[in-house]
A = this chain, B = another copy of it.
Amino acid sequence: MNGRRVTIVDVAARAGVAISSASSALNGRSGVSQATRERVQEAARELGYVPSLRGRSLSTQRAFSIGFVLHRSLEVLEADPFFGAFIGGIEQAISPRGYALVLQVGSTLEEAEGRYRELAANRRVDGVLLNELRIDDSRIDLVQEIGLPAVGIVPPIDSFPLPCVRQGSAAGVRALVRHLVELGHRNIAHVAGPPGFVHSQERIDAWRGALEEAGLATGALIPGDFTYDGGRAAADEIAAMAERPSAVVCANDLSAVGLMIRAQELGWSVPGDLSICGYDGIALGTYVRPTLTTVQASPRRVGAAAAELLLDLIDDPEANALRHVDLPAGELVVGTSTGPVA
């Protein structure tokens, strides 16, 4: 805590060179002799110089940070472990490049949009990640309108107007359905995610398509919302059905667990009376009994890839304006929640 912080001026003075030379030397730019560069670097080391992000930020017009807005209620945030993995992946990708993550929470979609506007207006971040995209997501227009670099995560198929990272769930869901068909199931229902979300729709389509491929009739499409309670409600809905499915594919693990617990409360045997699978591969699925058959997604890799792409986009908007990164699909994880049809 000895008085003033050391700035580039101090370094330049100590090395006996101009400030501009010191800057060039420290940033590895060309235009400085090797001798000067070394002198400057040594001076910086001796003085314990750390460049001020603020000065750099103002002069380069960069914040050296990216934003991520979680748009879900605080309540859900407390229950769902899924997004922690995302964040880990993002951090892993950006911190080596000198960037930091600014995390915001917007409970409602409106609030989230407000956050994006704010972030863009005061330029707190150089770009943002758009997760949990909806079909016709309003944020797409928003970021284009306000000129905020953005990368979409699991975007609508095809002509997505922004760079994006996709880990498609279609292959995984098909694998789940095939697995069930092999076990002899003929009546396979689906507990969907909340309507409007790209990944909800993708899983519905994949489930339908896989049934068709197998030459089976389309099963019951039960509404859901990715939550534990939504899964429980789905079980009650199934209980009320005249012709009950022998297997269910849920849009995610959390709802699958809710469904399973409720099914057991209703006195059904899982998988004896009902085979259940989820999607995501969260740890919770291995805690419950029976263990959940699911697809192992890679949120950490998705987060890392998206963040990486965003930094590339910030560095070179032209070259990366439409880059699409496709991650390998998640793999089938067979638990004990699925079994042969009774």
A binding-site residues for B, Cβ under 8 Å:
1, 5, 50-55, 57-58, 61, 63, 65, 74, 77-81, 83-85, 87-89, 91-92, 95, 100-105, 121-124, 147, 228, 257-258, 261, 264, 282-284, 287-289, 299-300
Contacts and interface: CB of A to CB of B under 8 A. Distances in A.
Given A54-B57, A287-B257, A287-B288, A84 B88 contact: no
Given A91-B104, A103-B103, A228-B287, A78 B123 contact: no
A283 B228 CA distance: 9
Given A5-B123, A77-B85, A87-B103, 18 more contacts: A1-B147, A50-B122, A53-B123, A53-B124, A54-B58, A57-B58, A65-B124, A77-B87, A78-B81, A78-B88, A79-B81, A84-B84, A87-B105, A101-B103, A228-B283, A261-B287, A261-B289, A264-B289
Contacts of A123: 5, 52-54
A267 to B, nearest CB: 13
Contacts of A102: 65, 100-103
A54 B50 contact: no
Contacts of A228: 283, 287
Contacts of A261: 287, 289
A287 B284 contact: yes
* Nearest 5 CB-CB pairings of A with B: A79-B283, A50-B121, A74-B88, A81-B81, A78-B85
Contacts of A65: 102, 124
B79 A92 contact: no
A121 B100 CA distance: 14
A144 B309 CA distance: 37
A74 B104 contact: no
Contacts of A50: 121-122
A53 B287 contact: no
Nearest to A53: B122
19 contacts: A5-B123, A50-B122, A54-B58, A55-B58, A58-B58, A74-B88, A78-B88, A78-B300, A79-B81, A79-B283, A80-B84, A81-B84, A84-B84, A91-B103, A92-B105, A100-B103, A100-B124, A257-B287, A284-B284
